[in-house]
Amino acid sequence: MSATATRSPTGSTFNEINNQANYHDEFALLTDSGIVAKDGEDSERLMYQAAHYELVASAKAVAIGHAINPRFQIGCMIAMVPIYPASCRPQDILLAHKAMEKRFYYADVHALGAYPSNIRALWQRRGWEMDVTDDDLKHLTEGTVDYIGLSYHMSKAIKWDEDNSHYDFREWKDVVRNPYLSASDRGWEVDPVGLRYSLSWLTDRYGLPLFVVENGLGAYDKVEADGEIHEQYRIDYLREHIEQLKLAVDEDGVDVLGYTPWGCIDLVSARTGEMDKRYGFVYANKNNRGEGNLHRSCKDSFFWYKHVIETNGEEL
């Protein structure tokens, strides 16, 4: 697999910073970045304000890192979940476009050093006075990233409703089942082609190298009587996604710095606090009830992925 080799030390700032875009007024929001927006009329504005402070902090970190060593490759990290229109109805297409704007303006700021006009227009429409200073904007301009890191696990489809005259992104209400895709045990739709689409979309938008830092399948793995774990479904998932990554590199000209799956060992889910949802190649003997001794054992996918590494992705 031909891909750009890592040319210098790499690092990243905030993890999946854009997951807070899944904002919903009816519940408090805890994001992967650690930001909590309380319930109330002002909570959505507070989420955007907190995100702004994160973006400024990220830009400052990038600038400091480059001052320490100009060879450092410092990137951002976004949760890449492409959002498709549920049909070719123009309203569905526009809503999907607006949803992508709202989910990925974070990458716009990281990569381009300024807020896109659509987000500023949203703030103005809501009548929000945001704490965004000239000094903040200067930091954003001076601290743009060298590459874009992304997690990719699924895609979503979205359908417009007549009560949404502003085409606001309302994931909790407007996301619908995609009839062309299967779903994981978690209900996440499995979309390998969506990874290729995402890599091409990000390349067209930003023209920066990309780093797939998360890609994996959460499933309820079964331990057989002999202690073995046969999860061909995970091998199939990863194989199909890596195949699409190779096509993005070889046929679409995408510059990929690297690929790392999520994850290498079963661990406690950061979002739900459970162990039974497993991503790893290595099984950790512990369940949601706290039973088990954490003994590690290799799943079938461990030996498969070991060979993938040994052949640099040429033999899947």
Written in H, E and C, the secondary structure of 19-74 is: HHHCCCCCCCEECCCCCEECCCCCHHHHHHHHHHHHHHHHHHHHHHHHHHCCCCEE
CA gap 140, 63 in Å, rounded: 10
Is 214 one of the catalytic residues? yes
Provide the token pair at 178: 């995609």
| Residue 312 forms part of a structural domain | no
pTM of the model: 0.92
In a domain, 301, yes or no: no
What is the C-alpha separation between 175 and 157, in angstroms, rounded? 6
| 300, part of any domain | no
Q: What is the pLDDT of residues 222-279, one digit of tens each?
A: 999 999 999 999 999 999 999 999 999 999 999 999 999 998 999 988 777 889 999 9
Q: Which residues are CB-contacts of 89 (< 8 A; sequence separation ≥ 6)?
A: 160
Which position among 54, 214, 240, 243 bears the catalytic label?
214
CATH code, domain carrying 190: 3.20.20.80
Backbone angle region of 207, left / alpha / beta, with phi > 0 → left and psi within -120 to 50 → alpha: left
Which tokens hold the place of 20? 């807070």
In a domain, 249, yes or no: yes
Name the residue range of residue 67's domain: 10-263
Please indicate, yes or no, if residue 189 is contained in any of the structural domains: yes
Q: What is the pLDDT tens value at each position of the chain, 316 positions in all?
A: 444 444 577 889 999 999 887 655 444 454 555 555 555 567 788 889 999 999 999 999 999 999 999 999 999 999 999 999 999 999 999 999 999 999 999 999 999 999 999 999 999 999 999 999 999 999 999 999 999 999 999 999 999 999 999 999 988 899 999 999 999 988 999 999 999 999 999 999 999 999 999 999 999 999 999 999 999 999 999 999 999 999 999 999 999 999 999 989 999 887 778 899 999 999 999 999 999 999 999 999 999 999 999 998 899 9
For 50, the token pair is 């907190």
**Residue 268: inside a domain, yes or no?**
no
Task: Kindly name the residue from 16, 54, 189, 231 that is annotated as catalytic.
Answer: 16
Residue 24: closest CA among 112, 76, 102: 102
Asked if residue 308 is part of any domain, the answer here is no
What are the distances in angstroms from CA 295 to CA 102, 224, 265, 274, 286? 43, 15, 11, 17, 8
Q: 279 and 216 in contact (C-beta within 8 Å)?
A: yes
Q: Is 164 within a domain?
A: yes
Alpha helices in the chain (DSSP H): 43-68, 90-112, 117-126, 134-142, 171-174, 192-206, 232-250, 300-310
Closest CA to 222 of 210, 230, 213, 212: 230
Angstrom distance (rounded) from CA 292 to CA 265 = 15
- The helix (run of H) or strand (run of E) holding residue 182 is strand 182-183
Round to whole Å and give the CA distance between 305 and 279: 13
Please state the domain count of the chain. 1
